Amino acid sequence: MQPSGNLHIGNYLGALKSWVRIQSDYECIFCIVDLHAVTVYQDPKELRSKIEEMAALYLAAGIDPKQSAIMVQSAVPAHAELAWMLTCVTPVGWLERMTQFKTKAAAQESVGDGLLQYPVLMAADILLYQAAIVPVGDDQSQHLELTRDIAQRFNSLYGDTFVMPSTSLPSVGARVMGLDDPTVKMSKSAAGAGHAVALLDPPGKARKAILRATTDSNPAVDFGNLGPGVANLLTIFQAFGGWSDEQMRAQFSGLRYGDLKKQVADMVLSHLEPFQKRYREIISEPGYVAGILRDGAARVEPVADSTVALVKRRMGLYTE
Ligand code: AMP
């Protein structure tokens, strides 16, 4: 995840929650992608502090640093190195077609090259570790497809080098929508109170945003005719609670929207409050998070370096 803006319940349900679940089944690397964050201007002081905040949020969510590596992208130079080599096999047309590039570019006065290269760097993040599975939210599916295209192109030019990574999306919560506008994805950068619930929002603020969420003109929940706002609230509840579709129908069919919102707020806060308590404990220990990031980088660096060495050999670049 990019250490920019405030992590919200969409990031949690789309990605972080699955990460916690899969870490007992896979050897996992969880990266804080600061090089991706600077594809648009970031205040340097703020960015620096957001990196450790994000690591603490991973830990508070339940990522176990003994099991999984948590590391910062810029601390392992091989990410940028491999990105350059992959750039050289990537047609620019593939990058210009990316939806996220088009949206972000439209919001900028002048478009930096880094914004276009963003998905190549993401491909490097993944291919560097020969990752089998990448658990992400739905908005990253296109970048994962591109990663496979880049890997395939490299493999066909230079011989079998990269493992093809598969995309893993959560069955519920892969695309959480804005509370104020359920036609757009909940986003860290969207301005305005009432759009998102940030993981570190004070409980009162979080509750208010949910109670004010946009619904529609129907009076009550009708599963045969769900508007996007109501569907989004139900998704948030279901993803946090881990309920089945049958349980959801039994609980919410015919319920008035005001009551639905109260139950959603209670469900979200029942997760947010203990989460925030763990976060405060984690950041109160001086040097704890920095130590975990140092250890994470040291653990993954040999893997990253050996992939770069392999790629260099394949391409005929200079190696000793
Ligand atoms: P980013 O905001 O690009 O740093 O995204 C970090 C992770 O959160 C990625 O795996 C995204 O797919 C996921 N994500 C971001 N926004 C949402 C959302 N609204 N709903 C579900 N997943 C999301």
Q: What is the pLDDT of residues 84-108, one digit of tens each?
A: 999 999 999 999 999 999 998 998 8
Among 185, 208, 262, 312, the active-site one is: 185
- 107 in the same domain as 31: yes
Mutational test site, ligand 1, from 22, 140, 169, 179, max ligand atoms within 8 Å of CB: 140
Q: What is the CATH number of the domain that holds 308?
A: 3.40.50.620
Please check whether residue 83 lies inside any domain of the structure: yes
pLDDT at 191: 66
- Residue 65 sits at φ, ψ, to 5 deg, of -70, -15
Centroid of ligand 1 to alpha carbon of 134 (angstroms): 13
- 166 in the same domain as 120: yes
Q: Taking the CA of residue 312 as centre, how many other CA atoms within 13 Å lie in the half-sphere pointing to its CB? A: 12
Q: Which of the two residues, 190 and 9, has the higher pLDDT score?
A: 9
Segment 229-270, tens digit of pLDDT: 999 999 999 999 999 999 999 999 999 999 999 999 999 999
Centroid of ligand 1 to alpha carbon of 60 (angstroms): 18
Average pLDDT of the residues in 272-280: 97
Structural domain total, the chain: 2
pLDDT at 267: 98
Among 66, 104, 208, 262, the active-site one is: 104
User: What is residue 36's three-state secondary structure?
Assistant: helix
- 168 in the same domain as 222: no
- 116 in the same domain as 241: no
Centroid of ligand 1 to alpha carbon of 315 (angstroms): 34
Average pLDDT of the residues in 27-55: 97
Segment 295-311, tens digit of pLDDT: 999 999 999 999 999 99
| Percent of the chain residues topping a pLDDT of 70 | 100
Tokens of 85: 């080599």
Closest C-alpha to 131, from 304, 279, 311: 304
- 211 in the same domain as 140: no
Decide whether any atom of ligand 1 lies within 6 Å of the 185 Cβ: yes
Decide whether any atom of ligand 1 lies within 6 Å of the 137 Cβ: yes
- 274 in the same domain as 156: no
